[in-house]
């Protein structure tokens, strides 16, 4: 791989990678079982540079911001490279957000350029807030000929001849602005520098290297920190190949493992559990003698790989299972949400190690990762090289808030100095997660101290963002909390729940009409954002001079007065 | 070619059967995530069922942002 110490920015390292690995395949794009595109590093460069030149001609300058709203595909990475080539700042937005949310984040980030897929652009154009868009240049991919684009350009036509000027950036210049939360209340734009990414790439590839010939299946959204690093920057600086499958249908995902002989894949726990379910069902269908043989092989593999993985041995013992995954899979990478140890153990016993880690957008990609020496299903691994972690105010069991210091920690939150000061204290990022180090130096997570829940799909849900749905609820005041914020649970996972705190009017009681009102509003939320219970609080909420609820104080008061069991289920 | 209304009706019936929800509880403008109580993976399952029924291909990326039965019916109708 390229020596990252020599570089000050992502644009420069990617530029050299395109030359160094020019004849290697860097991208494969498939529509279900049909391969649509295969690019070498040289082909990639040939497509990206005319785009960079056109951006340059359109006065897209150093430090200008460009947003991308796209599903995983080749044009995502090509556009990102062109943006970095011009010295721009990339704003990767979550394509799963609504059009209104996209418009809000485009405004918040002050993006000058937007690269967007046609179907997503059409939704944005139809939004009642469309007139508020201030983005000057919009490039729409895959628009049908003659489609109405409201002044946007077709991405495929937006190119100019001639060499663009490469714009060098320094390590502390901004590379990306990544939004770590929903948009209801306060967009959290994490400002990440080129150094943040170069350091993250260096530490991750030190433990999990890529090389020419490695094929990474890109399934997690590329706007997500994990896929951006292990599905773009990491493979590219090592000359590896990224496979984009333009569907997440399980039958085609399974087929892609075999067709492209995938080496690594990153998955959210929900998909991993789904894979586990499918495999267990297949195992259950086996005739008794075959099942007994399989169980023996699994037990043998577990015994022989208890100290470290042994890929060759596992592939020999469990040939058919490995063939089902293409035969070359080295690891399944996961993180971002709680995963049951039984699931990671299940795959490890099959000789398919699940590399579980822990990270947050504010800290680049990952702070800890399992190094598989040996595999541990019950931890999120050890701090990556260059990452310092400490446990603040540990209790008698050693559990306290995890704080991190590393060159991968973001510079600040965009336009939010107050939140930045609360989050990065004397150089330490306060993660809001409760953890403890066990005797081998592995981090174990126990719960969350902050007012947030994470779904199995890896989404961060902030209760404040959901409160607007309850606007006008006929009570004196109300607030929504993550139950773990009020009663820190020393356990991650299914106990994460949202609770509605009700302060009633004088002489008001919780009656069926109020409960029906709450339930109706609740139904307007996707299931993972629904409030699961309520509590009646009989004092006015403490508020700041500007009338904002003092959330932490209120949570402390509630936590002292009530047990978690007092929550009334809805 | 069936009318959009007929396509919509067939979608609602198929969804009701597949996810065991009373047909009369589903309306064209319902958000199917909420009305059926399904997550994104189950939605993909529904789409595969619909593709097999109508003999069309519905790319996932074209359905980003589509969450109500009526728009889904429009997308299918355009391919019939």
Q: What is the CATH number of the domain that holds B48?
A: 1.10.1200.10
For chain B, say whether A251 makes contact (Cβ under 8 Å): yes
Q: Is A313 left (phi over 0), alpha (psi -120 to 50) or beta?
A: alpha
Both A45 and A179 in one domain: the answer is yes
What CATH number is given to the structural domain containing A518?
Answer: 3.30.300.30
In a domain, A453, yes or no: no
| Strands, E assignment, A96-207 | 113-117, 137-141, 153-154, 174-179, 189-193
Q: Which residues numbered 438-457 in A keep a CB inside 8 Å of some CB on B?
A: 457
pLDDT tens, position by position, A445-488: 877 677 777 776 667 777 877 887 888 899 989 999 988 888 87
Question: Mutating which of B40, B43, B61 best tests the A interface, going by the most A Cβ atoms within 10 A?
Answer: B61
Tokens 């498939």 map to which residue?
A30
Collect all residues of chain A within an 8 Å Cβ-Cβ radius of residue B60. 71, 246-249
Asked if pLDDT for residue A46 goes beyond 80, the answer is yes
Determine the Cα–Cα distance for residues A370 and A473; give it in Å rounded to an integer. 46
For chain A, say whether B48 makes contact (Cβ under 8 Å): yes
Residue A558: enclosing H or E segment and its boundaries? helix A551-561
Contact B39 A96 (CB under 8 A): no
For B52, the domain range is 4-77
Alpha-helix residue ranges (DSSP H) falling in A400-511: 417-423, 463-466, 483-486
Collect all residues of chain A within an 8 Å Cβ-Cβ radius of residue B48. 249, 251
In a domain, A435, yes or no: yes
Tokens 């400490």 map to which residue?
A390
DSSP, residue by residue, A66-106: EEEE--SSHHHHHHHHHHHHTT-EEEE--TTS-HHHHHHHH
Q: Provide the number of structural domains found in chain A.
A: 3
Collect all residues of chain B within an 8 Å Cβ-Cβ radius of residue A250. 41, 44
What CATH number is given to the structural domain containing A316?
Answer: 3.40.50.12780
In a domain, A442, yes or no: yes
Strands A382-383 and A113-117 come out as unpaired
Question: Would you state the pLDDT for residue A456?
Answer: 64
Query: pLDDT-based confidence at A114, cuts 50/70/90?
Result: very high
Contact A246 B59 (CB under 8 A): yes
In a domain, A187, yes or no: yes
| Strands, E assignment, A370-467 | 382-383, 388-392, 400-405, 412-413, 424-425, 428-437, 443-448, 453-454, 460-461
What is the ipTM, given to two decimal places? Answer: 0.88
What CATH number is given to the structural domain containing A196?
Answer: 3.40.50.980
CA distance A32 to chain B (A): 9
For A135, the domain range is 4-259
In a domain, A457, yes or no: no
Both A402 and A480 in one domain: the answer is no
Last residue of a domain, one of A234, A259, A284: A259
Last residue of a domain, one of A448, A473, A494: A448
Q: Provide the number of structural domains found in chain B.
A: 1
Collect all residues of chain A within an 8 Å Cβ-Cβ radius of residue B41. 248, 250, 270-271, 274
Question: Would you state the pLDDT for residue A183?
Answer: 44
For chain B, say whether A534 makes contact (Cβ under 8 Å): no
Query: pLDDT-based confidence at A257, cuts 50/70/90?
Result: very high
Residue A35: enclosing H or E segment and its boundaries? strand A34-40
Question: Mutating which of A144, A455, A527, A530 best tests the B interface, going by the most B Cβ atoms within 10 A?
Answer: A527
Contact B59 A524 (CB under 8 A): no
Residues 6+ apart with CB under 8 A from A462: A181, A182, A184, A185, A451, A452
Determine the Cα–Cα distance for residues A504 and A515; give it in Å rounded to an integer. 13
Both A400 and A479 in one domain: the answer is no
Region A415-422 average pLDDT: 92
Are A543 and A479 within 8 A, CB to CB? no
Strands A331-334 and A354-358 come out as parallel
* Claim: this prediction has a pTM higher than 0.80: yes
Region A509-519 average pLDDT: 92
Determine the Cα–Cα distance for residues A467 and A475; give it in Å rounded to an integer. 13
Q: Which of A119, A524, A527 sits opposite B61 (nearest CB)?
A: A119
Size of interface A-B (CB pairs under 8 A): 53
Question: Would you state the pLDDT for residue A370?
Answer: 93
Both A428 and A481 in one domain: the answer is no
């Amino acid at each position: 791989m390229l020596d990252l110490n020599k570089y000050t920015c992502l644009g420069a390292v990617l530029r050299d990678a395109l030359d160094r690995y020019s004849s290697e395949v860097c991208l494969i794009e498939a529509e279900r079982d049909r391969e649509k595109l295969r690019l070498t590093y040289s082909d990639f460069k040939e497509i990206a540079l005319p785009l960079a030149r056109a951006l340059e001609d359109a006065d897209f300058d150093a430090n200008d911001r460009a947003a991308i709203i796209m599903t995983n595909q080749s044009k995502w990475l090509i556009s990102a490279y062109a943006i970095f080539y011009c010295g721009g700042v990339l704003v990767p937005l979550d394509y799963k957000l609504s059009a209104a949310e996209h418009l809000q984040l485009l405004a918040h980030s002050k993006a000058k350029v937007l690269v967007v897929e046609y179907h997503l652009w059409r939704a944005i154009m139809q939004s009642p807030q469309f007139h508020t868009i201030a983005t000057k240049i919009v490039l729409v991919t895959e628009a049908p000929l003659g489609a109405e684009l409201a002044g946007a350009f077709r991405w495929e036509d937006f190119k100019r001849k001639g060499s663009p000027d490469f714009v060098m950036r320094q390590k502390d210049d901004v590379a990306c602005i990544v939004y770590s939360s929903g948009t209801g209340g306060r967009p959290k734009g994490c400002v990440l520098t080129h150094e943040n990414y170069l350091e993250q790439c260096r530490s991750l590839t030190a433990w999990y290297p890529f090389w020419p010939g490695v094929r990474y299946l890109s399934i997690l959204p590329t706007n997500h920190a994990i896929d951006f690093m292990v599905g773009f920057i990491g493979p590219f600086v090592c000359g590896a190949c990224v496979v984009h499958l333009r569907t997440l249908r399980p039958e085609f995902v399974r087929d892609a493992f075999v067709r492209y002989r995938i080496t690594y894949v990153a998955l959210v726990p929900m998909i991993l559990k789904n894979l586990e379910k499918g495999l267990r069902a297949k195992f259950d269908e086996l005739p008794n003698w075959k099942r007994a043989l399989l169980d023996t092989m699994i037990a043998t593999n577990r015994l022989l790989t208890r100290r470290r993985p042994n890929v060759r041995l596992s592939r020999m013992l469990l040939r058919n299972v490995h063939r089902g995954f293409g035969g070359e899979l080295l690891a399944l990478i996961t993180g971002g949400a709680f995963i049951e140890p039984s699931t990671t153990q299940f795959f490890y016993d099959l000789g398919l190690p699940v590399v579980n880690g822990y990270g947050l957008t504010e800290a680049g990609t990952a702070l800890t990762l399992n190094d598989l020496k040996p595999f541990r299903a019950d931890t999120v691994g050890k701090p990556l090289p260059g990452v310092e972690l400490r446990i603040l105010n540990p209790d008698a069991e050693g559990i306290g808030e995890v704080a991190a210091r590393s060159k991968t920690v973001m510079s600040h939150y965009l336009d939010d100095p107050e939140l930045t000061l609360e989050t990065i204290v004397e150089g330490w990022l306060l993660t809001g997660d409760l953890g403890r180090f066990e005797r081998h130096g592995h981090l174990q997570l126990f719960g969350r101290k902050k007012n947030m829940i994470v779904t199995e799909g890896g989404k961060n849900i902030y209760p404040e963002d959901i409160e607007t749905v309850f606007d006008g609820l006929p009570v004196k005041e109300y607030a929504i909390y993550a139950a773990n914020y009020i009663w820190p649970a020393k356990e991650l996972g299914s106990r994460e729940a949202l609770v509605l705190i009700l302060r009633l009017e004088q002489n008001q009681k919780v009656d069926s009409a109020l409960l029906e009102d709450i339930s109706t509003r609740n139904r307007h939320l996707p299931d993972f954002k629904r409030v699961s219970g309520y509590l009646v609080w009989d004092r006015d909420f403490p508020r700041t001079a500007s009338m904002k609820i003092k959330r932490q104080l209120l949570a402390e008061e509630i936590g002292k007065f009530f047990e978690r069991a007092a929550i009334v289920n809805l | 070619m069936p009318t959009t209304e007929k396509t919509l009706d067939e979608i609602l019936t198929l969804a009701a059967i597949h996810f065991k929800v009373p047909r009369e509880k589903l309306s064209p403008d319902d958000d199917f995530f909420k009305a059926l109580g399904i997550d994104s993976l189950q939605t993909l399952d529904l789409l595969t069922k619909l593709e097999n029924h109508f003999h069309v291909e519905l790319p996932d990326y074209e359905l980003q942002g589509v969450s109500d039965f009526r728009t889904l019916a429009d997308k299918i109708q355009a391919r019939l």
